[in-house]
Amino acid sequence: MTLSVHPLGPVFGAEIFGADLTRAQTADEVAVIKAAMDRYAVAVIRDADITDADQIRFSRQFGALELPPVLGVGAQRIARELYDVSNLTIDGEISPADVTKRKFGKGDQFFHMDSSFNTLPTTWSLLSARIIPPVGGDTEFIDLRAVYAALDAETRDAIQDATAIHSIWFSRRLGGYEVSPEMEAKLPAVEQKMVQIAPDGRPTVVAGAHAGAIVGKSEEEGQALLRRLIAFSKEARFRLVHNWKPHDLLIWDNRCTLHRATPFDDMAYKRDMRRTTLLETGPDRSAQAA
Ligand code: OGA
Ligand code: MN
């Protein structure tokens, strides 16, 4: 069966039918998926009923894996190459309200790029739906290439040569997570240019909830600019909502999109998502180890 790619909206996003992720992709299939990602930045592969091993093999056809850092915020429930994006205990039950993993995960509800706080540059994230709740728990996206193209001249000038400081702890604090100095030392902040070139050659904004300061600006001034940028990016014309279907594999390019989790009744329903994130260059490793 050949792959078919269908745009999801006028700006970005596509769905891909006909992929069999239980085997290796052919060179043609890899090329079709890569081209769709370069153009649409977000793509959902439908009917991907896969195991952790399938997800790892498929992901590796597009780059080396960024291995999850060991932060000690929860026991390992799934393959160690995957990020556990769930509300479940190691036994697969809904976790208690006060577990650290839940508080840690709240930061994902602010628009962000995965791993923009890491020293190793990353490309795509691939999120596999294993269990989805009956209502809520959508994932939302922003196309930052479209945002850049629509910026007013003043904002464009302000960010054109600017560098932002990204730290996972900025977004965890936004989510109400208490960060200890020991935690902070495990993943120190990094710098990212605020305007970069997306894979399709268009300029893109690079920002999001991990960006908490701008080099050479006061804390207030930097945060005001970052907040203004996010507020503008949230306009409906740049947005896409992904309403999960069973067995979706959702892929996004962290270099030119923002995404966020949305709430659901997480004490009543299970949500089991598993993520791989790709590095620009190999081999597989965690940014913490780097
Ligand atoms: C992630 C993430 C969003 C979601 O896995 O990086 O932000 O809806 N997930 O679970
Ligand atoms: Mn994320």
Task: Indicate which CATH number applies to the domain containing 50.
Answer: 3.60.130.10
**Whole-number pLDDT of residue 290:** 60
Q: Decide: 248 in ligand 1 pocket, CB within 6 A.
A: no
Q: Decide: 84 in ligand 1 pocket, CB within 6 A.
A: no
**Whole-number pLDDT of residue 74:** 62
Element (H, E) at 260: strand 257-261
Strand order across the beta sheet in which 163-166 lies: 190-193, 163-166, 211-214
Calculate ∠ Cα 222-288-66, nearest 5°.
95
Per-residue model confidence as pLDDT tens digits over 68-93: 987 666 668 999 999 999 999 999 99
Cα(114) to ligand 2 centroid in Å equals: 5
Of 44, 114, 130, 270, the one to substitute when testing ligand 1's pocket (max ligand atoms within 8 A of C-beta) is 114
**Whole-number pLDDT of residue 135:** 98
Residue 100 is part of which domain span?
4-286
Prediction pTM value = 0.96
Cα(1) to ligand 2 centroid in Å equals: 31
Domain count within the chain: 1
Q: Which residues of the chain have pLDDT under 70?
A: 1, 71-75, 289-290
Sign of CA dihedral 2, 62, 115, 192: negative
Q: Which two tokens stand for residue 252?
A: 């996004």
Of 83, 85, 174, 272, the one to substitute when testing ligand 1's pocket (max ligand atoms within 8 A of C-beta) is 85
Cα(244) to ligand 1 centroid in Å equals: 12
Q: Which two tokens stand for residue 199?
A: 């894979």
Residue nearest to atom 8 of ligand 1 (CA): 261
Q: Decide: 114 in ligand 1 pocket, CB within 6 A.
A: yes
- Residue 161: is it exposed, middle or buried by C-beta count within 10 angstroms (0-12/13-18/19+)? exposed
Q: Decide: 132 in ligand 1 pocket, CB within 6 A.
A: no
Cα(197) to ligand 2 centroid in Å equals: 21
The ligand that comes nearest to the alpha carbon of residue 250 is 1
What is the position in ligand 1's atom list of the atom closest to the CA of 139?
A: 8
